[in-house]
């Protein structure tokens, strides 16, 4: 387990790109942290590494946003508004995770028991000098 302090958004995107290098087809990443911690920022950095350009909108109401990038299909989940973990089942959650897409999941704690085991878990917390990130593989 390793923790680092990341001082700003630019460094956050660089950190995400570095993290993205360890992801392969079918990888599942859980992103933990309070609102505004920087989960979506990390997702943006990861998507950019795989060739996505432009903004990343939080799929707060749709729960999932697909990205068909040239070499890699990716799904970005934001489960903050998931009322009941079973909803994930109704929306066909299994199909997303059984594919060879990379799945990036914000608020995985909202769907305990309905998600596969992650390859990497990232914990982000507020810190006087930016954010503290702990990566658990």
Site residues (vs Mg ion, CB under 5 A): 39-40, 58, 106
**DSSP bridge partners of 102:** 74
Tell me how far, at minimum, the Cβ of 61 lies from Mg ion, in Å.
13
Tell me how far, at minimum, the Cβ of 83 lies from ligand ADP, in Å.
19
C-alpha–C-alpha distance, residues 100 and 39, integer Å: 22
Decide if 3 contacts 96 (C-beta within 8 A): no
Q: Which of 48, 73, 130, 135 binds ligand ADP (CB under 6 A)?
A: 130
Q: Which is nearer to ligand ADP, 8 or 22 (CB)?
A: 8
Q: Which is nearer to Mg ion, 1 or 109 (CB)?
A: 109
**Nearest alpha-carbon partner for 28 in 86, 128, 102:** 102
Using CB under 6 A as the binding rule, whether residue 16 contacts ligand ADP is answered as no
119 binds, among Mg ion, ligand ADP, none (CB under 5 to 8 A by kind): none
Using CB under 6 A as the binding rule, whether residue 35 contacts ligand ADP is answered as yes
Tell me how far, at minimum, the Cβ of 58 lies from Mg ion, in Å.
5
The CA distances from residue 59 to 14, 71, 89, 118, 127, in Å, are 23, 22, 17, 20, 26
Using CB under 6 A as the binding rule, whether residue 135 contacts ligand ADP is answered as no
Q: Where are the alpha helices (DSSP H) in 1-137?
A: 9-20, 39-49, 86-90, 93-98
């Amino acid at each position: 387990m390793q923790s680092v302090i990341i001082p700003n958004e630019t460094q956050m995107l660089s950190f995400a790109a570095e993290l993205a290098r360890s992801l392969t087809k079918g990888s599942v990443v859980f992103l933990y942290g309070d609102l505004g911690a920087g989960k979506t920022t990390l997702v943006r950095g990861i998507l950019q590494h795989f060739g996505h350009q432009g903004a990343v909108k939080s799929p707060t109401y749709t729960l999932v946003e697909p990205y068909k990038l040239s070499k890699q299909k990716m799904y970005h989940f934001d489960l903050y508004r998931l009322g009941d973990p079973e909803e994930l089942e109704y929306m066909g959650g299994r199909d997303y995770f059984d594919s060879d897409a990379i799945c990036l999941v914000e608020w995985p704690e909202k769907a305990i028991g309905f998600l596969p085991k992650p390859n990497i878990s990232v914990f982000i917390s507020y810190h006087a000098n930016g954010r503290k990130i702990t990566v658990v593989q």
